Amino acid sequence: RPPQRLVIHPAQHQHFAGLDHAADRVDGLLEDPAVLRRQQVDALELVLGGHPPLGYDVRDRKLEVNLAEAELVRLIFRRFLDLGSALLLIRELNAQGYRTKSWMTQSGTFREGRPFDKGTLYKILRNRTYLGEAVHKGKSYPGEHEPIVDRATWERVHEVLATNARRRGNEARAR
């Protein structure tokens, strides 16, 4: 069977040619230190827009450690290592009366904390903000805020997370 010919409309050709040109320009910009610094600033601004992470408060558009919440974040990381199960940790946290972050919006609306669920817990365990980093478009940059969790604890938690979640849960429930 002879190969089929690909027919491209002239408008599509210009579109693809424009993408190549844009990619060439972006490649040149990624090496520019000013552009990299702007990406770091964008990452920090992204963190500061919206819901502040548990363990931090926003003051003057900067993250500051909330000592009581930071201790809860450290407890979450420690207990996850001890239990090896998100479900058991959630049950424990909710039974002890812990809640997610309560916060005030810029418009003055109070947002009450809720009981922990698996989505919230996994979001906390994977949030690089707790390492003192800011993430923007999938890239991690050094943040201007103080870390809450040390790198060794972070690495151990992520080793546990990398194992099979179903097996971890079954082993934890069997204890």
8 Å CB contact between 157 and 79: no
Residue 6, pLDDT > 70, answer no
- At residue 27, the pLDDT reads 47
What pLDDT, on a 0 to 100 scale, did the predictor assign at position 25?
46
Q: Can you give the pLDDT at residue 21?
A: 47
Taking the C-alpha atoms of residue 144 and residue 134, their distance in angstroms, rounded to an integer, is 8
Q: Tell me how far apart the alpha carbons of residues 106 and 91 are, in angstroms, rounded to a whole number.
A: 32
Average pLDDT over residues 15-29: 48
User: What is the predicted pLDDT for the residue at 105?
Assistant: 78
pLDDT at site 17: 53
**Beta bridge partner(s), residue 135:** 140
> What whole-number distance in Å separates Cα of residue 146 and Cα of residue 74?
14
User: Rounded to the nearest 10 degrees, how much is the dihedral formed by the CA atoms of 70, 75, 81, 85?
Assistant: -110
Degrees, nearest 5: CA angle 151-58-106: 145
